[in-house]
A and B are shown apart, each in its own frame.
Chain A
Amino acid sequence: MAYPADYRYTKEHEWISAEGAAGTVGITDYAQNSLGDIVFVDLPKVGDTLEAGKIFGSVESVKAVSDLFSPVSGTITAVNDALKDAPEQVNADANTTWMLKLDLTNPAELDALLSAEQYEAFIAEETEH
């Protein structure tokens, strides 16, 4: 599956799509594939603040639990409640299944994240190990 060129990526396998100060966050196709069948997504509440690089929630598959790391700092404006009942949507389409939307504190933080090309090179290296 292709990684959208207009998203930014973390080495912890989250993506963020941003327009100005409005950001949308999810996990990558590589992440959902590594986890396998996802059964539980634990997310914070609207109004909570996030700090770049800090844990904001977790995603659990049948066999593993994994922390979610915030790509940037900001305040949560929306949470994808549909994932409570249908977490498997993340497996079906990780690129468009968002987890939360946020108001970015400092959009310049996006520059520190990986481009699609850099992310693909990064996971190619991880897969080799």
Chain B
Amino acid sequence: MSANADPAPPLRKTALNATHRALRAKMVDFGGWEMPVEYSGLIAEHMAVRTAVGLFDVSHMGDIQLRGPGSLAAVQHLCMNDASKLATGQAQYSAMLTPDGTFVDDVLLHKLSDNDYLIVINAGTREKDVAWVRSQIGSMPSIHISDYSYYYTQLAIQGPKAEATLQKLTDSDLSAIKTYWFSYGKVCGLHNVLIARTGYTGEDGFEIYIPSDEPTSARVWNEILDAGAEFGILPCGLGARNTLRLESAMALYGHEISDTINVFEANLGRYAKLDKGTDFVGRAALTAIQASGGPQRRLVGLEMIERGIGRDGYPVCTVAGERIGAITSGSPAPFLKKNIALAYVPVQFAALDEIVAVEIRGQLVKARVVPTPFYKRPKKST
């Protein structure tokens, strides 16, 4: 066992910090935030989300609102997906790109009304993102940019029993909210709460945005845990959030995506609408990459076929030992009970069933390129 204790600057806390501590959560530094990594145990929390329901505090995520008659034009310039396709009440996965076609951040864009959009951004990139948005669209006409990151406590209720749990606390008909759509309703007595059928676990579920004062945040958190008790709800930390999103092969900023990785390399080209009719930051670079025959390396899913766990940063090699890439996220997969990883490799090694080796502490351990997502939730049998 090796210890490490490096001095760090003071961490930011969500409104639920004391609540997490009261639940005896293990707290860690995540992107400058002191966040719960696990409560009862990572595997139990992961399994609760796959088989029942789990509750996450994701208030460290940021929220930027764009308002005004120019907001659609601004969003179209800022983000790679086609926001003109969104109806009011609909959300879409998108990304803000650099002029090189690499990632400033991936985002979830919500259309609140014709002249009103909410962009949900990552925790570790909040300040950078807000500055980026202001620099890219701040001078456009008829647009008002607001950073509402501190105004919301964001809770994620995820799992096959998420709807049954949350339905007990709201008068909104949750079954009417489709995946990647949202509505407003009364939740725990709070009016006009944004209820989105979104998440980062590969499971059905909801994300709600409530006022960020401590008493309200703690009250709603506890009422959700009480409502889910009959289904076996567990409070879940960032540990389970990471393994759940990895099984579902969802990108994490700083791992699968960053400002040195372009959209095509990350396999996210389907969200880049090059022909949406308006230019956007990064479009020219993406067009050039496409014209030159596509990316040289690509993100692939790996499954370890020999004993060993490939982890973040471990080199990926040919079976002969020549280094060709690296793992961006790797872990045991608690639900699949396999050791899985996402990794960048040159395109000639990216075909399904290609055998490569992961260098694990000096040893070459074989892995196979497999389809992603590793896990896909079963279709509803209604």
Q: Which of A's residues lie within 8 Å of B, judged by CB?
A: 10-14, 27-28, 31, 36-37, 39-40, 58-63, 65-69, 126, 129
Residue total for B at the interface (Cβ-Cβ under 8 A): 20
User: Cβ of B43: which chain A residues have Cβ within 8 Å of it?
Assistant: 37, 62
Q: List 16 A-B contacts (CB under 8 A).
A: A12-B2, A28-B1, A36-B41, A36-B42, A36-B239, A37-B42, A40-B332, A59-B1, A60-B332, A61-B42, A62-B43, A62-B331, A63-B42, A63-B242, A67-B1, A126-B5
B65 at the A/B interface (Cβ < 8 Å)? no
Contact B1 A66 (CB under 8 A): yes
Mark interface residues in B179-219 (1 if CB within 8 Å of A CB, else 0).
Answer: 00000000000000000000000000000000000000000
Contact B239 A58 (CB under 8 A): no
User: Cβ of A63: which chain B residues have Cβ within 8 Å of it?
Assistant: 37, 42, 239, 242, 331
Looking across the interface, which residue of chain A has its beta carbon closest to that of B37?
A: A63
- Please give the distance in Å from B62's CB to the nearest CB on chain A: 25
B361 at the A/B interface (Cβ < 8 Å)? yes
Cross-chain contact of B309 among A36, A65, A69 (Cβ < 8 A): A65
Known A37-B43, A69-B1, A126-B5; 10 more pairs at CB < 8 Å:
A12-B1, A13-B1, A13-B3, A28-B1, A59-B1, A62-B334, A63-B42, A67-B1, A67-B2, A129-B7
Cross-chain contact of B332 among A10, A39, A67 (Cβ < 8 A): A39
User: Cβ of A10: which chain B residues have Cβ within 8 Å of it?
Assistant: 1
Central interface residue in A37, A62, A67, by most chain B CB within 10 Å? A62
- Please give the distance in Å from B195's CB to the nearest CB on chain A: 31
Q: Which of B's residues lie within 8 Å of A, judged by CB?
A: 1-3, 5, 7, 26, 37-38, 41-43, 239, 242-243, 309, 311, 331-332, 334, 361
- How many A-B contacts if CB must be within 8 Å? 54
User: Cβ of B37: which chain A residues have Cβ within 8 Å of it?
Assistant: 63
Looking across the interface, which residue of chain A has its beta carbon closest to that of B5?
A: A129
- Complex Cα distance, B3 from A69, in Å, reads 12
Contact A60 B309 (CB under 8 A): yes
- Please give the distance in Å from A54's CB to the nearest CB on chain B: 12
User: Cβ of B26: which chain A residues have Cβ within 8 Å of it?
Assistant: 36
- Complex Cα distance, B242 from A74, in Å, reads 40
User: Cβ of A65: which chain B residues have Cβ within 8 Å of it?
Assistant: 309, 311
- Complex Cα distance, B242 from A14, in Å, reads 29
User: Cβ of A60: which chain B residues have Cβ within 8 Å of it?
Assistant: 309, 332
User: Cβ of B239: which chain A residues have Cβ within 8 Å of it?
Assistant: 36, 62-63
